[in-house]
Structure 1
Amino acid sequence: MNATLMHDAIFYVMYFSLAAALVIIIERSIWFAWTRRQASQLAAVLTTETHALPESVTRRSSVPLRAVQPVLARKAQASAEALSDEVDAQYLLSKAAMTRGLWLLETVVTAAPLLGLLGTVMGIIDTFKALAAAGVSDASQVSAGMGTALYATGLGIAIALVCLVSNNFLQNRMERINELLKVLLLRAATPVQRAEPVAGPQDNGVRRYA
């Protein structure tokens, strides 16, 4: 086993993981901000009496819009139980779009420190092999080699911290959007209250409406 090659390969894997995590963090941050803005615009025009959405909020497709439209389409004909099932289905279908890519951040949070530790072990093995081959007994050279090996552990912990903070931030944004999406779906599924005729002894047979 070539310890030097393994040590270098681990560094490349960690750098690649950091680059991939940064792409996910930037993409999800922009996507969550845009989705929340679309949901807020939809909430401003959607009420329990809405049967069709205005063109101003349907011009651009979004997760909240795709979730609400099927519920509105079935609102007039479907029963309350069918609407409830539709709300649950649309909410579950939105989960895939919300959580896309976040699994990678969670994986990097767990794997980066372990990769760093493995890189340190490989670096230490490589350092002692080089020292033994050259017959060097100078403590300063040993310390320099150990410092280089420990850099892998520090890098792994730093990557994990960046991904952990970013993942918690994105999870919080996703929860806010999910809460707003629940409100939108409940509004879309609420049946319109119709006035019922109320008759009384003083009505003399004439119907009155509440």
Structure 2
Amino acid sequence: MAADHIEKKPLFHFFPGTYAFSLGTWGCNFHCKGCQNWEISCVDIPRGSQQLLPESEIELTKKYSCQGIAWTYNEPTIWFEYTLDSARLAKENNLYTVYVTNGYATPEALDTIGPWLDAWRVDVKGFADGFYRQLAKIPRWQGILDVTRRAKEKWDMHVEVVTNIIPTMNDDEEQLRDIATWIRDNLGELTPWHVTRFHPLH
């Protein structure tokens, strides 16, 4: 848990200058080589860990003068039920809500939480079948694009995209052009796209 600048997510065009009470747990539905959060994404839940009730999450958000909540650090869809309960409470308390996600979710899951989410900060890690199979060990990645477009079109979420450039894997001009074209054509030409540097840690 931390009170983070919203720009750290990174979200640069969503309530700029505010703080988001940021939470994460353990585990991920991807198994990426070079994961930058491997200490929490690639381990089992430690013994002695304690659960934070959604009601307590709201109290802490207010205690630390945060204007919203971000489920981040690891993939929020793997603790979906908790984030859903928390998002409902957050909206009842006039707090904004953010998913920092790899986007690997079903349309049904998105539609369940969609009414209570304000921002969808999604990783589009690459734009090729072979890349996603090699990096994340998933066979079908196009659903990430479909769900992200749905977040924008059906639920009117603020969407920002991150692509972490991994040398020799997704740094070719064709993949990057394809990502940029998809963002422009499906999310709008004003959609922020953060192209970040790779720091291999795992």
TM-score normalised over the length of structure 2: 0.22
Larger Rg: 1
Greater strand share, 1 or 2? Answer: 2
Q: Which has the higher contact order (CA 8 A, sep 6+)?
A: 1
TM-score normalised over the length of structure 1: 0.21
